[in-house]
Structure 1
Amino acid sequence: MAERNNNSKPNNKNGEPKDPPNNAEEVPEEESAKKKELEELPPFEVVEGSRIPASSFMFQFKNVEYSSGRNKTLLCYKVERGEDQVFHGYLEDEHVSAHAEEAFFSNVLPQFLSSGAVSVTCYVSSSPCVNCAACIARCLRRNKTLKLRLVVARLFQWEESEIRGALRGITSAGCQLRMMKSADYLYVWQNFVEPDIVLNEEGESEQKSEQGAFIPWEDLDENSRYYEEKLSEILR
């Protein structure tokens, strides 16, 4: 499976930060403040009430065994609170210092946990790493009224003993963990995905694909069953 890379980008090709030259001009205060603000932005993107581009969904959520190039995690969430309060959104990480799961359970979900029971379903492109699993388990233990379902497309480095133990840990904490099936893909497509937009010969935007036309790849069901067997072995 593709590894999650948490290394930030070096400042130059040698990986060493450069000191400013002695005769460097002073950066205007307004520009300096803007630069600082950009540097302090969180290393993940939170998109509320929006949709994932279809091509990104089809690539990142494809349940292949060897996920070469799929080094980004997408998390679609549905939060239900009370009888008529339903919230949708998705997170996408860039693997700098926070993964999408950690960002959701540490920064997004707490705003919905102020009072009463909360039911959360997360559709994630891959299962959590050890640190994200620990974050999920802590959240469940601290919030006894939280009901969580985690539905994942692929198992992340499931051969590793630490990962296997982490997955058992979140289920023992109360998380319902399972693999995505055809019906789950269709649900995410209809509720979280938007058609790709391209320009025609006249330079006008047009849809590349229809919103309702989710076409499963040939081995989707076979791969889903394969991962279900692996997950069942891990959780025994």
Structure 2
Amino acid sequence: MVGGNPSTLRNPRKDRIDPFIFKFQFKNVEYSSGRNKTILCYLVHKEKTNDGLLRGYLEDEHTSTHAEEAFFTQCLPDYDPALKYTVTWYVTSSPCSACAKKIAEVLRARKNVRLTIFSARLFWWEEAEIQAGLRALHSGGCKLRIMKPLDFSYMWDTFVENDEQPLNLWEDCKENYEYYHEKLADILQ
């Protein structure tokens, strides 16, 4: 699904994630058995325009490619090199090595796009190829972050059909954040 800014949705379907899917897919557990879909929630701000903030999400199972790659073709199809873009992603896990390479290429080609990626988990972080991809993203100007408990609450309020109910974070959310934060810091040294 591709959502948009609340007043001008480009897709008639809902632009919010089901709460059960959010709690399952974004849970920042170390062993993510069964959590094999990528959900990418995005915010896009184009400077010097009256378009407002573009908000929505993609699931890789609803695109013909990985969600990270689909973002650039489906959510920024009218890319304007004269504008500055500030893009924030909240993803279920960090990019695979192929996606990291493609994102780094896009950022090199589009110097006016600033990307910050908040990941709930690190994808196969022990693999040398994944680590190299994350380092390439980082050196290419992409800010890589692990989602803190506050980030999950922000996502709940911004991207989830929550009927205005507060998010009850899982018991080990903070400890899992600290674990992944440390692993990412080690990779990016």
Task: Provide the TM-score with structure 2 as the length reference.
Answer: 0.88
2-structure distance, mates of 1:136, 1:116: 19
Question: Quick one: structure 1 residues 110 and 97, their matched pair in 2 at CA, closer, same or farther if it must change by over 3 Å?
Answer: closer
In the other structure, the counterpart of 1:138 is 105
- Any unmatched runs of 5+ in structure 1? 1-44, 196-209
Question: Quick one: structure 1 residues 175 and 110, their matched pair in 2 at CA, closer, same or farther if it must change by over 3 Å?
Answer: farther
In the other structure, the counterpart of 1:223 is 176
In the other structure, the counterpart of 1:99 is 66
Shift of 1:94: 1.7
Structure 1 residue identity aligned to 2:85: V
Query: Deviation per CA, 1:15-52, whole angstroms, max 9, x where unpaired?
Result: xxxxxxxxxxxxxxxxxxxxxxxxxxxxxx43445100
Question: Quick one: structure 1 residues 186 and 96, their matched pair in 2 at CA, closer, same or farther if it must change by over 3 Å?
Answer: closer
Shift of 1:97: 5.2
Q: Say if 2:73 is the partner of 1:117.
A: no
Q: State the structure with more CA Rg.
A: 1
Q: Say if 2:35 is the partner of 1:46.
A: no
In the other structure, the counterpart of 1:21 is none
Structure 2 residue identity aligned to 1:126: S
Task: Provide the TM-score with structure 1 as the length reference.
Answer: 0.71
2-structure distance, mates of 1:93, 1:177: 20
Q: Say if 2:118 is the partner of 1:151.
A: yes
The count of aligned residue pairs is: 178
In the other structure, the counterpart of 1:76 is 41
Q: Say if 2:142 is the partner of 1:171.
A: no
2-structure distance, mates of 1:230, 1:56: 26
Structure 1 residue identity aligned to 2:40: L
Cα RMSD of the aligned pairs, angstroms, is 1.7
1-structure distance, mates of 2:155, 2:3: 15
Shift of 1:74: 0.4
Question: Quick one: structure 1 residues 131 and 106, their matched pair in 2 at CA, closer, same or farther if it must change by over 3 Å?
Answer: farther
